[in-house]
Amino acid sequence: AQTVTQSQPEMSVQEAETVTLSCTYDTSENNYYLFWYKQPPSRQMILVIRQEAYKQQNATENRFSVNFQKAAKSFSLKISDSQLGDTAMYFCAFGDSNYQLIWGAGTKLIIKP
Amino acid sequence: NAGVMQNPRHLVRRRGQEARLRCSPMKGHSHVYWYRQLPEEGLKFMVYLQKENIIDESGMPKERFSAEFPKEGPSILRIQQVVRGDSAAYFCASSPQRVGYAEAFFGQGTRLTVV
């Protein structure tokens, strides 16, 4: 069965710093998708970035980028120039040829002014 | 294009009552997924529906829980005879395709509190 592990329950950094959130997963599939979702205090689940496993190039969305290491089954999220509005829970999720999203337990990120 | 709409946002029920959670998917989306989030945890899959069909309900408890997505109207997650352990946030997501190949758009969730 697929599993997703986020080993950092909580992280905090100063505003404008760079922070990296880690995520590892386990699967026997070869084709799959990986996602990072952000859940601010409003509880809305917001897609931050998506990576397709067959693409070697790491996905980037403005200040957000990933380091996708397929062989190591690692999918970390880097947030550059962090802002106060980045404070939220961040969830890593895995989606394969099936339709379920398998979720990690989340990392609480606090950006300090 | 309105996002995924869930209502109510907050729902309080006494033990033994019924809870009905509604989800209106984004326009043009025919795939709906329900997830449950317990405090300090990630989301857990409950059920996947397409219009008028339940595709997979393997994550849903066999008793007291049911879901539907009728031809007209929102998807409904129904919990009968609620117990304290049902207290959680319930999220609905919709997509134009199966989630693995498209991003899923989430609603804001319904927080169910059983007292």
- Position of tokens 């408890």? B61
What is the Cα Rg of chain B in Å? Answer: 13
Min Cα distance A65 → chain B (Å) is: 17
Cα–Cα distance measured from residue B70 to residue B8, given in angstroms and rounded to the nearest whole number = 19
Cα–Cα distance measured from residue B49 to residue A14, given in angstroms and rounded to the nearest whole number = 43
Residue B51's CB: how many other CB atoms inside 10 A?
A: 14
* Residues contacting A32, CB < 8 A, separation 6+: A53, A94, A95, A96, A97, B100
8 Å CB contact between B72 and B57 = no
Min Cα distance B17 → chain A (Å) is: 25
* Residues contacting A77, CB < 8 A, separation 6+: A20, A21, A23, A36, A48, A49, A64, A65, A66, A90, A92
Residue A64's CB: how many other CB atoms inside 10 A?
A: 16
**Residues B6-25: tens digit of each pLDDT:** 999 999 999 999 999 999 99
**pLDDT confidence of residue B1:** 54
- Minimal Cβ distance to B108: which of A42, A93, A100: A42
Classify B86 as helix, strand or coil.
helix
With a pLDDT cut of 90, the percent of chain A lying above it is: 76
**Residues A30-72: tens digit of each pLDDT:** 888 999 999 998 888 899 999 999 888 999 999 999 999 999 9
Written as six digits, the tokens of A80 are: 């550059």
**pLDDT confidence of residue B100:** 62
**Residues B56-96: tens digit of each pLDDT:** 999 999 999 999 999 899 999 999 999 999 999 999 999 88
In the beta sheet, which residues pair with residue A61? A64
**pLDDT confidence of residue B42:** 86
Cβ distance of A91 and B104 shorter than 8 Å: no
**pLDDT confidence of residue A101:** 87
**Residues A78-88: tens digit of each pLDDT:** 999 999 999 99
The answer, for B100 touching chain A at a CB cutoff of 8 Å, is yes
- Position of tokens 């709409």? B5
Give the phi and the psi of residue B65 in degrees, each rounded to 5.
-105, 140
The answer, for B40 touching chain A at a CB cutoff of 8 Å, is yes
Cα–Cα distance measured from residue A104 to residue A7, given in angstroms and rounded to the nearest whole number = 9
Cα–Cα distance measured from residue A68 to residue A56, given in angstroms and rounded to the nearest whole number = 8
| Closest chain B residue to A42, measured at CA | B108
Cβ distance of B40 and A97 shorter than 8 Å: no
Residue A95 has pLDDT above 90, yes or no: no
Using the Cα atoms of residue B67, residue B69, residue B73 and residue B74 in order, give the sign of their dihedral: positive
In chain A, residues with a C-beta closer than 8 Å to the C-beta of B99 are 95, 99-101
**pLDDT confidence of residue B101:** 63
Written as six digits, the tokens of B67 are: 């879901």
The answer, for B46 touching chain A at a CB cutoff of 8 Å, is no
Q: What is the average pLDDT value for chain A, to the nearest integer? A: 93
Written as six digits, the tokens of A48 are: 């931050």
Written as six digits, the tokens of A110 are: 């606090």
**pLDDT confidence of residue B109:** 94
